[in-house]
């Protein structure tokens, strides 16, 4: 293979770019769609079906989300490996941000893999599944609920801090004032995103969807659904 000039530079800037463009935009869309759950199961399932019905959806998922995510993760591991993690006493706040940006990557990766495999890949196989009811069942498990909350908060922090530092990396915020303003705006974006995601979980609580119980039971009995799979696994473990 011929040596690509400025390979590390290009990869590092691509890492920054893939964090901002597909990921932040996708998060905003995802959490917005989740929030339909606050208007009821039907509205949420409609919204989810609408997105699933996008033209070229499989191409968007593979080339617009999957590959950029995979690259961001792979190159991110290299970046994490190249850093030092002692906190410098003169600069605790910014130094902690640097460390947390790298530390949060691990819960995010664990959550992302779990979430995508269970909800998108396994769940997506069956066509007549009730996504809302599935999520009600997921959140009924307190451990999974906590896992989701941690995953969401870490993702939103990683995203917000990433926006602020990318602005410096690309040379957008050159002076201290603009860096502070960008930091505040990024924090706002992070708070709005996590607020939207966490608030929308209310729409998946069993109290909010008493009719979900029936759908859950039906899915647990239907072999093509992920709930059936999880239920069978539970059976195996027990």
Question: In the structure encoding, which two tokens stand for residue 161, read together?
Answer: 């801090």
**Does residue 181 touch another protein according to CB under 8 A?**
no
Q: Is 130 exposed, middle or buried (0-12, 13-18, 19+ CB in 10 A)?
A: buried
CB 190 within 8 A of CB 157: yes
**Does residue 49 touch another protein according to CB under 8 A?**
no
Q: Which is nearer to another protein, 81 or 143 (CB)?
A: 81
Kindly tell me which residue out of 4, 86, 235, 237 binds another protein, with binding defined by CB under 8 A: 86
**Does residue 180 touch another protein according to CB under 8 A?**
no
CB 182 within 8 A of CB 167: yes
**Does residue 237 touch another protein according to CB under 8 A?**
no
- Kindly state the smallest distance separating residue 102's Cβ from another protein, in Å: 8
**Which residues have CB under 8 Å from 228's CB, separation 6+?**
219, 220, 221, 222
Kindly tell me which residue out of 175, 210, 223, 235 binds another protein, with binding defined by CB under 8 A: 175
Q: Which stretch binds another protein (CB under 8 A): 32-40, 74-82, 204-212, 229-237?
A: 74-82
Count of residues touching another protein (by CB under 8 A)? 32
**Does residue 143 touch another protein according to CB under 8 A?**
no
Count the Cβ atoms, other than its own, within 10 Å of residue 31.
Answer: 21
Q: Which is nearer to another protein, 9 or 143 (CB)?
A: 9
Question: In the structure encoding, which two tokens stand for residue 226, read together?
Answer: 């992920």
Q: Which stretch binds another protein (CB under 8 A): 110-118, 122-130, 163-171, 198-206?
A: 163-171
Over its C-alpha atoms, the chain yields an Rg (Å, rounded) of 20
């Amino acid at each position: 293979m011929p040596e690509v000039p400025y390979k590390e530079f290009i990869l590092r800037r691509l890492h920054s770019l893939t964090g901002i463009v597909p990921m932040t935009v996708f998060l905003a869309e995802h959490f917005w769609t989740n929030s339909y759950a606050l208007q009821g199961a039907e509205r949420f399932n409609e919204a989810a079906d609408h997105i699933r019905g996008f033209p070229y959806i499989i191409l968007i998922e593979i080339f617009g989300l999957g590959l950029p995510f995979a690259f961001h993760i792979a190159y991110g591991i290299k970046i994490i490996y190249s850093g030092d993690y002692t906190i410098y006493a003169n600069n605790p706040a910014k130094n902690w941000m640097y460390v947390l940006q790298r530390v949060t990557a691990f819960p995010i990766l664990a959550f992302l893999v779990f979430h995508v495999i269970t909800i998108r890949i396994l769940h997506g196989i069956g066509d007549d599944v009730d996504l809302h009811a599935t999520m009600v069942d997921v959140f009924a498990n307190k451990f999974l609920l906590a896992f989701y909350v941690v995953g969401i908060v870490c993702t939103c922090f990683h995203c917000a801090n990433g926006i602020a530092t990318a602005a410096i990396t690309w040379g957008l915020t050159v002076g201290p004032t603009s860096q502070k303003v960008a930091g505040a705006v990024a924090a706002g974006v992070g708070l709005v995103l996590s607020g939207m995601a966490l608030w929308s979980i209310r729409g998946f609580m069993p109290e909010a969807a008493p009719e979900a119980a029936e759908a859950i039971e039906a899915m647990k009995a239907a072999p093509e659904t992920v709930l059936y799979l999880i239920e069978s696994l539970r059976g195996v473990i027990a």
